[in-house]
Amino acid sequence: MKAFRGDPSLFASSDPGKRQAQLEIRNLTLRFGGITALNKIDFSVQNGELISLIGPNGAGKTSLLNCLSGDSKPQSGKIILNEEEITHLPPHRRAAAGIGRTYQSFELFEEMTVLSNMMLARHIHLKYNFAKAFLFSKSTKAKEAHQIRLVEELIDFLDLQTVRKEPVARLPMGMRKRVDLGRALSLNPRILLLDEPFTGMTLEEKDEMVRFLLELNEIWQQTIILAEHDMSIVMSISKRVVVLDFGIKIAEGSPDFVQKHPQVIKAYLGKP
């Protein structure tokens, strides 16, 4: 995989503290009526980790990501990012705090171009007011040009140059997944939440996505929480794995530890 081209300012900030991530999930419980989707979930994520969430369908993986991104509101427990509680912040405040997210189903604007979809995510970094935007002053033009340059760097990194002006609706599944990843990265997140990013991909597309994620994590120290069913991918790229079953955390540890854990084998992996 090629190295990141251009000025990597989006990833290698002159102020490393802007991308530091320390996440704590304490006793998190989420219910929908009489159904308990998450039951007292407790774990932490260190800066620069790539952690995977696994478990059968309905185990609570997406519910946990929804709680982290603000799409669902837990009944009890705490979510703490860099020593500040964000449990009750709305989704747009979570994004501003540094949480980027992709979804199982695409949340892209299909009639808009790749560039436009990714530029939308940069709005939280635009500081000019309505008057300056309306007049499109010199300073506003300079700020807009800077944002476009940062997004173009991501487009280059994700090998989307040839389709940057194409409507998303015309793209195949693998490229749409990359656009979705690019839009989440355009937020310049402290933590990147990925909900089954490999679903529907060919083997070649999966291989490309794996390489993107490894470069983000290993070179740019992007903190990543990945919910995924493909065990070959999970076990090959994760530093730590958290296993859920019926909303309960049944195991946590290295990929090797999790694969040999009796409860995980019984609930999810099955016997060899």
Please tell me the CATH code under which domain 21-98+191-272 is placed: 3.40.50.300
Greatest Cα pair distance in the chain = 66
| CA–CA separation, 51 and 132 (whole Å) | 42
- What does the pLDDT read at residue 88? 93
Going from the C-alpha of 244 to that of each of 39, 223, 227, 237, 256, the distances in angstroms are 10, 20, 11, 19, 17
**Model pTM score:** 0.87
Going from the C-alpha of 5 to that of each of 28, 153, 169, the distances in angstroms are 41, 7, 27
Domain ranges for the chain, please list them. Answer: 21-98+191-272, 110-188
pLDDT in tens, the chain (272 residues): 444 444 445 555 545 566 789 999 999 999 998 899 999 999 999 999 999 999 998 899 999 999 999 999 999 999 999 999 999 999 999 998 999 999 988 778 889 999 999 988 887 766 655 555 555 566 666 666 777 888 899 999 999 999 999 999 999 988 999 999 999 999 889 999 999 999 889 999 999 999 999 999 998 899 999 999 999 999 999 999 999 999 999 999 999 999 999 988 887 766 65
Q: Where does residue 270 fall: left (phi above 0), alpha (psi -120 to 50 degrees), or beta otherwise?
A: left
- Cα angle 86, 89, 94 (rounded to 5 degrees) comes to 75
- What does the pLDDT read at residue 200? 85
Residue indicated by tokens 């933590």: 191
